């Protein structure tokens, strides 16, 4: 995302959210959610047509990104412990899950309690979904088959 466009969106948030709402943390999270939502569209959806909507209420800031590129491919590896969860990535530091709830795919993650990070282990090199999942209070994906639209929605509670 071009820096000036990003700063413009952060300025809108700053103007419309009450000062008491933990502004520093909100802007930090918003900056990286916005960056990764658009990076994801360019890298994976293979499309230049992306729209981004920002919704601000007294209770939340919501980012909705829609593109008309390739649908997000869900992995098919089921978690042994949580049968309804699919594992997107698993490494020494995090396991990133997807969980279907009706038409929506929710992302959440678990921090793995490795006693220490052994650098000989396979370290992850893909962090986009992880960043949004950890920065947002809720993050989900929806694919509209009729319009071939991918929508990612990330919400920060105020």
Partner 1 sequence: MTVALYMYTKQPKMIDIIKNQSNYLLVDVNLNEANMGNAAIFKSEIISMLDLHHKKIILSLHQVNYIDSTFLGALVAALKHAISLKADIALVGLKKDIHDLLTLIRLDKVFKIYDSFNDATKED
- Paired strand residues for 55: 62
Give me the residue label for tokens 């649908």: 71
Selected from 9, 14, 21, 35, the binder of partner 1 by CB under 8 A is: 35
Interface region with partner 1, contact rule CB under 8 A, candidates 55-63, 68-76, 124-132, 145-153: 124-132
Residues 6+ apart with CB under 8 A from 60: 155, 156, 157, 158
131 lies in the site for partner 1, by CB under 8 A: yes
Binding of partner 1 by 65 (CB under 8 A)? no
> CA-CA distance, 69 to 78, in Å (whole number)?
26
CB 97 within 8 A of CB 81: no
What's the min distance (Å) between Cβ of 102 and partner 1? Answer: 29
Q: Does 8 bind partner 1 (CB under 8 A)?
A: no
Give the whole-angstrom CA distance, residue 156 versus residue 158: 6
Q: Pick from 13, 17, 26, 32: which binds partner 1 (CB under 8 A)?
A: 32
Q: Which residues contact partner 1 by CB under 8 A?
A: 3, 6, 28, 31-32, 35-36, 39, 42-43, 93-94, 111, 117, 119-120, 123-128, 130-131, 134-135
């Amino acid at each position: 995302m071009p820096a000036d466009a990003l700063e413009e969106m952060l300025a809108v948030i700053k103007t419309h959210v009450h000062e008491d709402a933990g502004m520093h943390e909100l802007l930090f999270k918003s900056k990286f959610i916005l960056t990764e939502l658009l990076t994801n569209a360019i890298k994976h959806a293979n499309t230049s047509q992306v729209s981004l909507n920002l919704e601000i209420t007294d209770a939340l800031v919501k980012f909705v990104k829609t593109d008309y590129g390739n649908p997000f491919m869900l992995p098919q590896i089921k978690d042994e412990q949580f049968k309804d969860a699919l594992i997107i990535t698993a490494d020494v530091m995090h396991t990133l899950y997807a969980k279907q709830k009706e038409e929506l795919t929710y992302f959440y993650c678990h921090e793995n309690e490795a006693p220490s990070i052994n650098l000989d282990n396979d370290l992850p090199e893909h962090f986009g979904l992880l960043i949004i999942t950890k920065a947002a209070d809720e993050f989900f994906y929806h694919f509209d088959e009729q319009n071939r639209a991918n929508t990612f929605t990330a919400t920060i509670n105020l």
